Chain A
């Protein structure tokens, strides 16, 4: 009922899908984590840490991800660091995504009105408590749409892992397409796979947004 070609295609793509998920999940989580840490330091850290994190963000936002992946995989061996294709890809994704996430986190932290901080200080909360209990929970809600968007980008640029020879969704598809010379069908199906992944991510993000929703918060 279903042609042998499509059967082979789906098998290959499903295999790739699992590999893609293995890339995306830790990269998204790691990116958010790095982004929160770097974002907090960029907003509230002392000069030393702020400079370091600013530089990190500037470099990883300012250079193409392809270049970063190439350096991680083909460049680092020159100084004796050998990463597997998987490790190189995840490292690159976490660092790149973390740089973008830090921008959203930092912006959200700085957007919280100073009166929130003063209200906390006036009650005797320490600086750390004021940031942790008042500023961060509010900033988290403000940063969520941006951070979610970055996760969606990550899902799509995870396809770049194949250039460091990691066989994920796009890589599997491309191999098959070349072999059978049937690019249109193959890439159309790959597109559908990514669409499904992104739709799932949007669904989860909406759920989180709903859980964190506070009446009237963020309007005005």
Chain B
């Protein structure tokens, strides 16, 4: 069902840093409502790839299609419009430190989407309630816990009505007892049919949410397939998950 209408497609993304190739030609095609999860060893290029997908890092080469229309990322105007439609969640939240939770969400609604103050606040309230933070809207980032910060960041991204959400290890910077609240929000998004690409080491998310797993190593996707197909003895992906299991002490489920 996902084959015929990719909502976002990138092809042959390459990127070098200081002559060192980090991405060596990565492709990805995302169907509507599909969830792809990137795993792999540290330094494999997951973050670089995710940031290339919305051109926060400009790739050395690569082609982009959004809803099958080619995206000319060399045009600033096209790029700014493209980024509105491809939301991003960062490991370190990247909330605006000088703005309240509410204003973190309203800023882009007002400055990018041109909404008036009231409409933006209303929309922001809806999104912040969705992530259970309606009573924290007046607080500044420094007054929020890590889990709350990440939920504000998710509300901020969703308020832009993105067609795709990119998530780079959304729970990695959190204390273990705070990951649950963020995982719940992500599960909820999945249930509502949000299209996502997520790098994560959270084994429970990998197993239960992924339509497809991409195992990245040294700038390549070296394994790709459904959890059923990939998480079987003998694959790199299974080996990687076993290691995560023994590290986190979660044990096989």
Interface 1/0 per residue, A209-220 and B, CB below 8 Å: 000001111010
B90 to chain A: which residues have CB within 8 Å?
A: 115, 118-119, 122
- A141 lies within 8 A of chain B by Cβ: yes
Contacts of A118 in B (CB 8 A): 56, 90, 94
Q: Which residue of B lies closest to A212 (CB)?
A: B98
Chain B residues with CB under 8 Å of A120's CB are 96, 108
A129-B112, A214-B140 given; A121·B83 CB < 8 A: yes
- Neighbour of A125 across the interface among B88, B111, B139, B140, CB < 8 A: B111
The residues of A that contact B142 with a CB separation of less than 8 Å are 214-217, 219
Query: Residue A80 at the B interface, CB < 8 A?
Result: no
B160 within 8 A of partner (CB):
yes
Residue on B nearest A216 in the bound complex, by CB: B142
In the complex, residue of chain A having the shortest beta-carbon distance to the beta carbon of B91: A115
| B253 located at the interface, meaning its Cβ lies under 8 Å from any Cβ of chain A in the complex | no
Q: In the complex, which residues 109-162 of chain A have their Cβ closer than 8 Å to any Cβ of chain B?
A: 115-116, 118-126, 129, 133-134, 137-138, 141
Chain B residues with CB under 8 A of A129: 111-112
Nearest B residue (CB) for A126:
B80
Q: Interface of chain A, helix or strand or loop or mixed?
A: helix
Q: A115-B90, A134-B96 are in contact. Are A124 and B140 (CB under 8 A)?
A: no
B92 interface residue (CB < 8 Å to A): yes
Least CB distance from A137 to B in Å reads 5
- Please determine whether A214 and B84 come into contact, CB atoms closer than 8 angstroms: no
CB nearest neighbor in A for B83? A124
Chain A residues 74 to 123 lying within 8 A of chain B, measured CB to CB, are: 115-116, 118-123
Q: Given the complex of chains A and B, what is the CA–CA distance between A156 and B81 in angstroms?
A: 51
User: Knowing A115-B90, A217-B140 touch, does A124 contact B98 (C-beta < 8 A)?
Assistant: no
Contacts of B112 on A, CB cut-off 8 Å?
Answer: 123-125, 129
- Chosen A-B contacts, 6 in total, with CB atoms closer than 8 Å, are A116-B97, A123-B87, A125-B108, A125-B112, A134-B98, A216-B140
Top 6 A-B residue pairs of the complex, sorted by shortest distance between their CB atoms:
A216-B142, A119-B94, A124-B84, A123-B108, A122-B88, A124-B83
Given contacts A122-B54, A123-B83, 6 further A-B contacts (CB under 8 A): A116-B96, A118-B90, A122-B157, A125-B80, A126-B80, A216-B140
